[in-house]
C-alpha cells in the first residue's frame, strides 16, 4: 500500500519533469502555435484564477476565531485573537476581490479599445484608468463575501470536537506557511530570472531565453508562473477535511488538480507564460503543499502516513 501511495507522487513528479523538458525544447514554438490574447478561456482564468490562496487564508482565520471562542483563554487574549483574525480575514477577501476586479476592468477596457480582451500588463507596470464604480463595488463585494464566508465557516466548524479543532488549528497555521512560502519563492524567482513573457516577444523574438537562463532583475517576470502556483495551492484544501473522510478528501484533490491544470494551460493559451513557466510554478506549489502536509503528519487523500 505504501508503494502505491508513493507511486502517485512519483508519477506527478515525473509528469511535471516531462513538461519541463518539453518546454525547454519547444517553449517558443508551443507559445507561437497556440497563443491567443483574445481567448475567453484564457481571460476567464486570468481574471478569476487567483481565488484560492485568499480562501485558504480566510478559512485559517475563521479556525483561529472558533478555536479561541471554545478555549479557556482570558477574555483579553480571546479579544486580541478575534480582532487580528477578523482584520486578517477581511484583508484576504478584500485582496481577492480587488485582483478579480482589476483584471475584469482591464478586460472591459480592452474590449472598448478593440484590443484582445485578455491583453494585460501582468507585471504591474504602466497605468490603468479605473471606472467610478470600482471602489464602491470593491467595498460592497468584499463585505458581502466576508459575511457569507463567516457564516459558512461557522456552520462548518460548529460541530467539531476539541480533537478536530486542535488538528484544524495546526492546519490553519500550516496554511499561512504554505501560501506565503510558495508566494515568496515565486516572487523571488520572477525577479531573479527576468524572463520575457510570450506576448512581449511578438515584436522581437531575439529577447527569448530558455527557462534555465537567469537574466537578473529587468522588470520581466514570466518565469515561473504565479497564476499556476496560486491555482495549485488549492491542493491544500483537502487538509481542512477530517482525515477519516477519505472519499471527500480525494474528490477535492481531483477537483483542485483539474483546476490547477486548467489555469496553467490558460496561461500558455493567453500568452502570459511559456509551458516551462507553468510547469515550475505548479511544481513549487505542489512541493510546498506536500512538505507542509508531511509536517502536519497528514496525506492529502486522508490515508495514514504510518
Reported as a single tens digit per residue, the pLDDT across 80-107 is 999 999 999 999 999 999 999 999 999 9
Residue 247 CB coordination number (10 Å)? 10
List the domain range (segments joined by +) for residue 187: 38-295
Domain count, the chain: 1
Domain presence at residue 219: yes
Residue pair 220/123 in contact (Cβ under 8 Å)? The answer is yes
Residue pair 110/47 in contact (Cβ under 8 Å)? The answer is no
Domain presence at residue 32: no
pLDDT in tens, 176-223: 999 999 999 999 999 999 999 999 887 778 888 888 899 998 889 999
pLDDT in tens, 119-171: 887 776 556 778 899 999 999 999 999 999 999 999 999 888 989 999 999 99
Domain presence at residue 21: no
Domain presence at residue 265: yes
Domain presence at residue 9: no
Domain presence at residue 104: yes
Instruction: Give the contacts of 51 (CB within 8 A, at least 6 positions apart).
Output: 96, 100
Domain presence at residue 134: yes
Domain presence at residue 29: no
Amino acid at each position: 500500500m505504501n508503494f502505491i501511495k508513493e507511486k502517485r507522487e512519483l508519477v506527478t513528479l515525473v509528469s511535471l519533469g516531462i513538461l519541463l523538458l518539453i518546454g525547454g525544447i519547444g517553449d517558443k514554438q508551443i507559445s507561437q502555435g497556440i497563443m491567443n490574447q483574445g481567448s475567453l478561456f484564457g481571460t476567464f482564468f486570468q481574471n478569476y484564477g487567483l481565488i484560492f490562496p485568499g480562501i485558504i487564508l480566510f478559512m485559517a482565520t475563521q479556525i483561529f476565531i472558533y478555536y479561541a471562542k471554545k478555549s479557556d483563554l482570558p477574555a483579553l487574549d480571546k479579544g486580541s485573537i478575534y480582532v487580528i483574525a477578523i482584520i486578517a480575514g477581511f484583508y484576504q477577501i478584500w485582496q481577492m476581490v480587488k485582483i478579480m476586479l482589476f483584471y475584469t476592468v482591464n478586460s472591459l477596457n480592452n474590449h472598448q479599445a478593440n484590443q484582445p480582451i485578455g491583453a494585460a500588463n501582468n507585471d504591474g507596470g504602466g497605468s490603468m484608468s479605473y471606472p467610478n464604480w470600482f471602489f464602491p463595488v470593491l467595498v460592497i463585494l468584499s463585505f458581502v463575501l466576508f459575511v457569507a464566508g463567516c457564516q459558512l465557516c461557522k456552520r462548518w466548524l460548529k460541530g467539531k470536537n476539541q480533537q478536530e479543532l486542535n488538528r484544524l488549528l495546526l492546519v490553519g497555521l500550516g496554511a499561512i506557511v504554505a501560501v506565503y512560502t510558495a508566494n515568496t519563492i515565486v516572487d523571488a524567482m520572477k525577479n531573479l530570472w527576468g524572463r520575457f513573457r510570450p506576448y512581449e516577444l511578438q515584436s522581437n523574438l531575439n529577447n527569448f531565453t530558455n527557462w534555465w537562463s537567469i537574466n537578473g532583475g529587468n522588470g520581466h517576470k514570466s518565469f515561473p508562473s504565479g497564476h499556476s502556483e496560486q491555482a495549485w495551492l488549492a491542493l491544500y484544501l483537502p487538509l481542512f477535511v477530517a482525515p477519516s473522510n477519505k472519499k471527500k478528501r480525494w474528490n477535492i484533490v481531483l477537483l483542485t488538480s483539474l483546476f490547477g491544470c486548467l489555469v496553467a494551460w490558460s496561461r500558455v493559451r493567453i500568452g502570459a507564460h511559456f509551458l516551462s513557466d507553468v510547469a515550475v510554478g505548479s511544481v513549487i506549489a505542489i512541493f510546498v503543499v506536500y512538505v507542509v502536509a508531511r509536517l502536519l503528519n497528514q496525506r492529502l487523500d486522508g490515508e495514514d502516513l504510518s
